Amino acid sequence: MDRALYVAMNGAKQVQLHQATNTNNLANASTTGFRADFDAFNSLTVVGPGYEARIYNQDERSGIDFSSGALQQTGRELDIAVSGNGFIEVQAPDGSSAYTRAGDLHTTSAGLLETGAGHPVMGNDGPIALPPFEKLEVGDDGTISILPVGQEATTLATIDRIKLINAGPEDLVKGEDGLLRAVPGVSLEADASVTVTSGILESSNVNTVSELLDMIELTRNFEMHVKMMKAIEENDSATTQLLRIN
């Protein structure tokens, strides 16, 4: 295969991979607590016999945007926004610990406290389960207090405390399920300095205008690589005709 054709083909493929990240960000522009992904192109030399005269690109996930999203007032008791670099610890589908900023909490019919995506919220001793209640309050430190069914309005019982951790960009990686996890070798423990505010949700931090502009640029870039492949094909056909004449 001609090296130029390989470079053009690879370029189109890498642009598609970058576009997939861009599309995922846009698809989650309204997802509570979502953190946008960053992609970057790296230049690498095509290794092979002869002079190394071709450079190809490789798309790589370069990081996560940890900037905060806008805060939205909801007034709902189980909607919480986490302060600073704090995260809510949840249980991933495989049973492992994961972290999220999505504070759109709800209770299941069995009383299990979950995020809007269905991930159990972790407390001091595992997933938080709530007995039937008439009223619920979430304290600044994540403490959950309820008014049990049939009790007087002045009696609030503390059930559990949401496990909140403090982590920086270097401590977390994002999985394909959208949840954040600790990098290997890092242990994240509950941090009492992390607080939450009830009745507020943090929206996605995706900048839709920026992502749409990137999408247009990536589309043009992809078209350029396709045109390059067509030009290489035409040159190859012209070369074949000249050889036939000779």
pLDDT of residue 53: 64
Q: Tens digit of pLDDT for each residue in 159-182?
A: 999 999 999 889 999 988 889 999
pTM assigned to the model: 0.82
Residue 203 has pLDDT above 80, yes or no: yes
pLDDT of residue 9: 84
Average pLDDT score, the chain? 88
Average pLDDT over residues 69-78: 93
- Could you write out the DSSP letters of every residue in the chain? --HHHHHHHHHHHHHHHHHHHHHHHHHTTTSTT---EEEEEEEEE--SSS----EEEEEEEEEE--PPPPEEE---TTBEEE-TTEEEEEE-TTS-EEEE---B-EE-TT-BEE-TTSPBBEETTEE-B---EEEEEE-TTSEEEEEETTS-TT--EEEEE--EEE--TTTEEE-TTS-EEEPTT----B-TT--EEETEEE-----HHHHHHHHHHHHHHHHHHHHHHHHHHHHHHHHHHHHHH-
Q: Tens digit of pLDDT for each residue in 182-191?
A: 999 999 999 9
% of the chain beyond a pLDDT of 90: 59
